[in-house]
Amino acid sequence: MTEHNVASFKALGLAPAIDKVINEVGYESPSPIQARSIPPLLEGRDLLGQAQTGTGKTAAFALPLLSRLDLKKKYPQILVLTPTRELALQVSEAIRTYARHLSGFQVLPVYGGQSMSQQLRQLHRGVHAVVGTPGRILDHLRRNTLNLAELSSVVLDEADEMLRMGFIDDVEEILKQAPTERQTALFSATMPKEVNRIAQRHLNNPIEIKIKAKNVPKFVAGKALKDAVN
Q: Does 3 reside within a domain?
A: no
Q: What is the pLDDT of residues 34-68, one digit of tens each?
A: 999 999 999 999 999 998 888 899 999 999 999 99
pLDDT for residue 225 is more than 60: no
Q: Does 2 reside within a domain?
A: no
Q: Does 56 reside within a domain?
A: yes
Of residues 43, 59, 78, 45, the one with CA closest to residue 152 = 78
Q: Does 81 reside within a domain?
A: yes
Q: What is the pLDDT of residues 111-139, one digit of tens each?
A: 988 888 889 999 999 999 999 999 999 99
Q: Does 230 reside within a domain?
A: no
Number of domains in the chain: 1
Q: Does 1 reside within a domain?
A: no
Q: Which domain holds residue 80?
A: 9-225
Burial, 5: exposed, middle or buried (Cβ in 10 Å; 0-12, 13-18, 19+)?
Answer: exposed
Residue type, 32: P
Torsional sign, CA 212, 213, 216, 221: positive
Share of the chain above pLDDT 90, in %: 79
Q: Does 91 reside within a domain?
A: yes
How much is the pTM?
0.90
| Residue 217 belongs to domain with CATH number | 3.40.50.300
Please tell me the predicted confidence (pLDDT) of residue 3.
41
